[in-house]
C-alpha cells in the first residue's frame, strides 16, 4: 500500500463526487486532506465545507506543498500542472482509480458496477451493513447518502469496504486502464452493461472486454452477482471461464434468476414486490420508485446475505432507505409544481427513470428536462436518446454539458437532439440553459411535475427554479 502510512494527501479535482467520497474516507483514516478544483459549484461542495477540508481554486502547481506526501488526481482534467509538480518533488501521484484500489487493500471489497444502479446499490449495501452493526467503510460517487450522512467513510472497526466501481479510464490521456481494474474485490455486483463511454471504448465489445478483465480480479473465494435481465451481462457470462461461472449468483425478473423478483407494483408512494430464493418468498417494500430500484434492492440483499447479514435485517434496513442525492430526488415545489432531479444520462437510464416516473406520478402532467452530457456520448447514442426522451408527456432539451476532457464538436448539439426527439414526440422543445428558468416559469402550471435529467449541472437550474419567488 503506497498510501497506507501517509498523513497529508492533496486531492486535485476534489469536487468530483468520487473524489469527495474518497477524500472523506482518507480523512477518517486520520489523514490531513487538502484539495483544489475549478470555481464552479458542484453537488459535493456542502459536504466538503462541513468537513472543513481546505479547498484552493484552480490547479496552480504552487498549491502542492512540499509537505504533501501524495497527490490524488481526477482524470477529468487532461492538463494538470499539479501532477508534474508532485512528480518533480518525488511525491507519489495516483489517479483516483489507483488511490481507491490502494486505500482499500486492507478491506474485504464489495464493488458495484454498471451503467445505472451502481451508486444506489452501493449505498443500499452500506446502509444494510450499517444497520447490521458491521461498521462498513464505503466510497460512493454521489453528493450524499442522507441515511448515512456522508458519501464516503472509513471505519477501522469493520472489515468490509463497499465501493462504486467504474469502467471509465483511470486517466484518459495517460492511463487507459479501467478504474475498476485497480480493485481486488471479494464480491462484484454488475447491475447492467451498456455502451456508455464512446470517448474511451470504440464499441460495446471493447466495453465487454473491460468487464471480462474486471471479473477476473475476483478473489479466490469471491462471488459475481449479476442482473440476469441484462442481455449484455448474459453475453459476458458466455465469455468467462467455467470456474468463474460456477461462482455466479444471479438476480432479476427473469424466471432463470436465482434471486427472482415478482409481484411488482407501485402504489401510494411505495414500491412493493416479492423475492423468491430457494423456495422462500421475501416480501419487500421500498419508498423508492421503479423496477430498477427493485433490482438494486434485490442485489443488495443478495450481497448482504453473502456477507453474513440475515435477510430479515436487510429487508428492514431497505424499508427505511430514502435514496441518494441526485437519484430520483425530490427538490421541492414552487407554485404548485413538484420539482425532481435524476442523474440519468444514458438512454437506458432515461427509459427506466421515465417509465418509473409515469407510474409514480400517475395522471399528473410530467415534463422531462434533459441536459445531454458530453458531445461524444450524445453523438454516439443520438437516436437512442431521442427515442427514450419521447416517453415523457413533454420534453425539454437544453445545451450539451461538455466535459473538460473533450473538445467542442459543432456537429452535435442539444438543438439537433430536440429536432430528432420531436419526430417521436411533438411536445418537444429546445431551450437554452440561460432561458430555461423563464421557460419553466411560463410553461408550467399547478399540478405539474418537472424532472431534470443529466450528469451535468442541470440540478442547479432546478434548485434555482424551486427557489424563485
What are the Cα distances from residue 230, in Å, to 192, 236, 284? 6, 10, 22
Last residue of a domain, one of 292, 319, 346: 319
Indicate if 31 and 144 belong to the same structural domain. no
Is the C-alpha dihedral spanning 377, 341, 353, 227 positive or negative?
positive
> Do 237 and 108 fall into the same domain?
yes
Indicate if the pLDDT at residue 254 is higher than 80. Answer: yes
Residues 286 and 312 in one domain: yes
Instruction: Report residue 1's pLDDT band, with 50, 70 and 90 as the boundaries.
Output: confident
Structural domain contains residue 324: no
Same domain? For 115 and 170 the reply is yes
Rounded Cα gap, residues 454 and 435, in angstroms: 18
What's the CATH number where 117 sits?
3.40.1190.10
> Do 89 and 179 fall into the same domain?
no
3-state secondary structure of 175: strand
Q: Which of 95, 286, 268 is nearest to 179 (CA)?
A: 95
CB atoms closer than 10 angstroms to residue 464: 12
Residue 1 counted as domain residue: no
The number of beta carbons lying within 10 Å of the beta carbon of residue 292 is 26
Same-domain status, 235 and 298: yes
Is the domain of 289 the same as that of 390?
Answer: no
Give Cα separations from 20 to 68, 81, 144, 366, 405 (angstroms): 18, 20, 10, 33, 19
Q: Is 134 inside a domain boundary?
A: yes
Q: What pLDDT is recorded for position 155?
A: 98
Cα(326)–Cα(456) distance, rounded to whole angstroms?
Answer: 11
- Do 149 and 260 lie in a common domain? yes
Cell reading at 229: 435481465
Same domain? For 170 and 304 the reply is yes
SS3 content of the chain, % helix, strand, coil (to 5): 35, 25, 40
Kindly state the average pLDDT of the residues 286-302: 97
Tell me 177's DSSP state. E
| Own/partner pairs, 273-281, CB within 8 angstroms, 24+ separation | 275/301, 277/302
User: What's the rounded Cα separation, in Å, for the pair 13 and 96?
Assistant: 10
User: Domain of 127?
Assistant: 104-319
Whichever domain contains 377, its CATH number is: 3.90.190.20
CATH of the domain at 77: 3.40.50.720
Q: Do 192 and 215 sit in the same domain of this protein?
A: yes
pTM, to two decimals = 0.95
Domain boundary residue, one of 94, 119, 138: 94
pLDDT of residue 173: 84
Look over the chain and give the mean of its residue pLDDT values, rounded to a whole number.
95
| pLDDT, tens only, 414-461 | 999 999 999 999 999 999 999 999 999 999 999 999 999 999 999 999
Q: Does the pLDDT at position 103 exceed 60?
A: yes
pLDDT at position 36 is 96
In a domain, 3, yes or no: no
Give the tens place of pLDDT for each residue, 350-374.
Answer: 999 999 999 999 889 999 999 999 9
Cβ–Cβ < 8 Å for 313, 128: yes
- Confirm whether 388 is domain-assigned: yes
In a domain, 447, yes or no: yes
Are 219 and 290 in a shared domain?
A: yes
Q: Which residues contact 301 (CB under 8 A, 6 or more apart)?
A: 128, 259, 275, 282, 311, 314, 315, 318
What DSSP string runs through 39-67? Answer: SS--TTHHHHHHTT--EEES--GGGS-TT
* Helix, strand, or coil (residue 76): coil
**Are residues 376 and 457 located together in one domain of the fold?**
yes
- If one counts the domains in the chain, the total is 3
* pLDDT at residue 469, rounded to an integer: 55
- Asked which of 319, 339, 361 is the last residue of a domain, the reply is 319
Amino acid at each position: 500500500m503506497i498510501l497506507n502510512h501517509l498523513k497529508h494527501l492533496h486531492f486535485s479535482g476534489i469536487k468530483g463526487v468520487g473524489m469527495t467520497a474518497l477524500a472523506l474516507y482518507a480523512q477518517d483514516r486520520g489523514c490531513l486532506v487538502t484539495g483544489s478544483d475549478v470555481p464552479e459549484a458542484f453537488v459535493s461542495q456542502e459536504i466538503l465545507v462541513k468537513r472543513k477540508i481546505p479547498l484552493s481554486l484552480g490547479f496552480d502547481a504552487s498549491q502542492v506543498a512540499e509537505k504533501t506526501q501524495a497527490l490524488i488526481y481526477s482524470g477529468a482534467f487532461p492538463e494538470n500542472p499539479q501532477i508534474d509538480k508532485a512528480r518533480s518533488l518525488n511525491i507519489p501521484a495516483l489517479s483516483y482509480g489507483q488511490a481507491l484500489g490502494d486505500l482499500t487493500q486492507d478491506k474485504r471489497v464489495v464493488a458495484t458496477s454498471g451503467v445505472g444502479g451502481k451508486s444506489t446499490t452501493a449505498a443500499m449495501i452500506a446502509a444494510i451493513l450499517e444497520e447490521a452493526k458491521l461498521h462498513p467503510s464505503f466510497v460512493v460517487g454521489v453528493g450524499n447518502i442522507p441515511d448515512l450522512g456522508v458519501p464516503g467513510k472509513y471505519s477501522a472497526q469493520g472489515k468490509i469496504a463497499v465501493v462504486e466501481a467504474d469502467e471509465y479510464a483511470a486517466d484518459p490521456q495517460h492511463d487507459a486502464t479501467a478504474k475498476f481494474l485497480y480493485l481486488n474485490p471479494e464480491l462484484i455486483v454488475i447491475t447492467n452493461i451498456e455502451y456508455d463511454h464512446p470517448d474511451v471504448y470504440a464499441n460495446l465489445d471493447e466495453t465487454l472486454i473491460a468487464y471480462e478483465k474486471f471479473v477476473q480480479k475476483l478473489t479466490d473465494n469471491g462471488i459475481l452477482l449479476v442482473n440476469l435481465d441484462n442481455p449484455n451481462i448474459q453475453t459476458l457470462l458466455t465469455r468467462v471461464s467455467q470456474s468463474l461461472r460456477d461462482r455466479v449468483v444471479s438476480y432479476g425478473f427473469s424466471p432463470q434468476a436465482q434471486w427472482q423478483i415478482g409481484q411488482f407494483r407501485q402504489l401510494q408512494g411505495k414500491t412493493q414486490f416479492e423475492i423468491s430464493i430457494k423456495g422462500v418468498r421475501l416480501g419487500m417494500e421500498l419508498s423508492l420508485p421503479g423496477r430498477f430500484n427493485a433490482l438494486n434492492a434485490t442485489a443488495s440483499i443478495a450481497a448482504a446475505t453473502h456477507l453474513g447479514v440475515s435477510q430479515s435485517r436487510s429487508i428492514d434496513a431497505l424499508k427505511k432507505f430514502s435514496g441518494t442525492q441526485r437519484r430520483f430526488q425530490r427538490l421541492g415545489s414552487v407554485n404548485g409544481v413538484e420539482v425532481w432531479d435524476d442523474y440519468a444520462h444514458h438512454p437506458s437510464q432515461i427509459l427506466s427513470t421515465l417509465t418509473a416516473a409515469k407510474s409514480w406520478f400517475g395522471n399528473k402532467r410530467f415534463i422531462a428536462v434533459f441536459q445531454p452530457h458530453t458531445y461524444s456520448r450524445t453523438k454516439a447514442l443520438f437516436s437512442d436518446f431521442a427515442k427514450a426522451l419521447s416517453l415523457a408527456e413533454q420534453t425539454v432539451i437544453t445545451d450539451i454539458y461538455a466535459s473538460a476532457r473533450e473538445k467542442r464538436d459543432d456537429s452535435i448539439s442539444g438543438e439537433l437532439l430536440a429536432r430528432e426527439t420531436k419526430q417521436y414526440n411533438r411536445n418537444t422543445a429546445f431551450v437554452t440553459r440561460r432561458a430555461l428558468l423563464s421557460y419553466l416559469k411560463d410553461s408550467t402550471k399547478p399540478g405539474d411535475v418537472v424532472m431534470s435529467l443529466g450528469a451535468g449541472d442541470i440540478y442547479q437550474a432546478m434548485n434555482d427554479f424551486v427557489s424563485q419567488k
